[in-house]
Amino acid sequence: MKYLKTFMGGLCMMAAVSCSGPAAENSECADACSASSSSKAVIENIMARRSIRKYKPQTVARDTMNIILECGINAPNGQNKQSWEVRVVDNAATMDFIKEAMSEGRDVAVGSCFRGAPVMAFIARDPSYDFSAYDCGLLAQNMMLSATSLGVGSICLGSPVRFIMESPKKGEILERLGFSEGYELCLCVGFGYADEAPDAKPRDFGKVKFVD
């Protein structure tokens, strides 16, 4: 949080310096200041996003989810192939079916891997395209960031994919989700209203380097 405040403080200072003095009256500077304000909002949204693992029971309205989904499918993707498919489950009975089916044959129920998110987006990739998995990742990121801007919490999950694909009832689950032939489940993203406010985890900026 301290890093975020410092970072945003620097951004505000740059905007203030660039748009100060008499020049601020002209339209060019006004446009620049407006752009700085928009950039600040985008950066704040990115820095504020958290993975939520505890949700309120309230579901997310489909009007809100449609905005999130539209932001998702506007993610960059290779050759504009849009090599993804998304199936959204916001029906409790359907989620119960999936949880029970994926727990079949196991000593313990594994439905808790969904973290209690009331809405789950199941994302499938097109294995015929080498970069489809990356496209699906970009789709998921767009969805999570747009959710944050709308006050909706989210979490990206991989373990449900493993549990589903290893389940003896895999066929029944995938049939219920209804992906097109040939598509493979690769990611799950949960959505809902957060019932926690986790702090940011430390990030190692040392892993990033400029190459001269």
pTM above 0.85, yes or no: no
Say how far apart CA 85 and CA 149 lie, in whole Å. Answer: 23
Query: Looking at the structure, do residues 28 and 66 belong to the same domain, yes or no?
Result: no
Residue 174 neighbours by CB distance under 10 Å:
19
Range 64-77 average pLDDT? 98
Check residue 39 and give its pLDDT. Answer: 77
- Examine the pLDDT at 1 and tell me if it is beyond 90: no
Check residue 26 and give its pLDDT. Answer: 54
String of DSSP letters for 154-210: EEEESHHHHHHHHSTTHHHHHHHHTPPTT-EEEEEEEEE-BS--PPPPP--GGG---
The percentage of residues in the chain with a pLDDT greater than 70, rounded to a whole number, is 83
Q: What is the domain count for the chain?
A: 2
Q: Which H helix or E strand runs over 87?
A: strand 84-89
Say how far apart CA 83 and CA 138 lie, in whole Å. Answer: 11
Query: Looking at the structure, do residues 40 and 74 belong to the same domain, yes or no?
Result: no
**Residue 106 near residue 184 (C-beta atoms within 8 A):** no
Range 121-128 average pLDDT? 98
Q: Does 204 reside within a domain? A: no
Query: Looking at the structure, do residues 72 and 24 belong to the same domain, yes or no?
Result: no
Query: Looking at the structure, do residues 43 and 69 belong to the same domain, yes or no?
Result: no
Domain range for 17 is: 2-48
For the segment 3-53, what is each residue's pLDDT rounded down to a tens digit? Answer: 455 445 554 444 444 444 444 455 655 565 566 777 788 899 999 999 999
- Examine the pLDDT at 146 and tell me if it is beyond 50: yes
Query: Looking at the structure, do residues 101 and 186 belong to the same domain, yes or no?
Result: yes
Which residue intervals of 22-180 are DSSP H helices?
27-48, 62-73, 92-103, 132-149, 159-166, 170-177
Please give the mean pLDDT across all residues of the chain: 89
Query: Looking at the structure, do residues 95 and 162 belong to the same domain, yes or no?
Result: yes
- Examine the pLDDT at 68 and tell me if it is beyond 50: yes
More confident residue, 176 or 14: 176
Query: Looking at the structure, do residues 71 and 38 belong to the same domain, yes or no?
Result: no
Query: Looking at the structure, do residues 128 and 159 belong to the same domain, yes or no?
Result: yes
More confident residue, 84 or 32: 84
Check residue 38 and give its pLDDT. Answer: 73
Q: Does 152 reside within a domain? A: yes
Report which of 74, 63, 53, 190 is spatially closest to residue 142, judged by C-alpha positions: 74
Query: Looking at the structure, do residues 113 and 40 belong to the same domain, yes or no?
Result: no
Cβ-based burial of 191 (10 A; exposed 0-12, middle 13-18, buried ≥19)? buried
- Examine the pLDDT at 2 and tell me if it is beyond 70: no
Query: Looking at the structure, do residues 139 and 77 belong to the same domain, yes or no?
Result: yes
Query: Looking at the structure, do residues 69 and 138 belong to the same domain, yes or no?
Result: yes
The percentage of residues in the chain with a pLDDT greater than 90, rounded to a whole number, is 80
Range 102-125 average pLDDT? 96
Say how far apart CA 195 and CA 182 lie, in whole Å. Answer: 37
Range 70-93 average pLDDT? 98
Q: Does 148 reside within a domain? A: yes
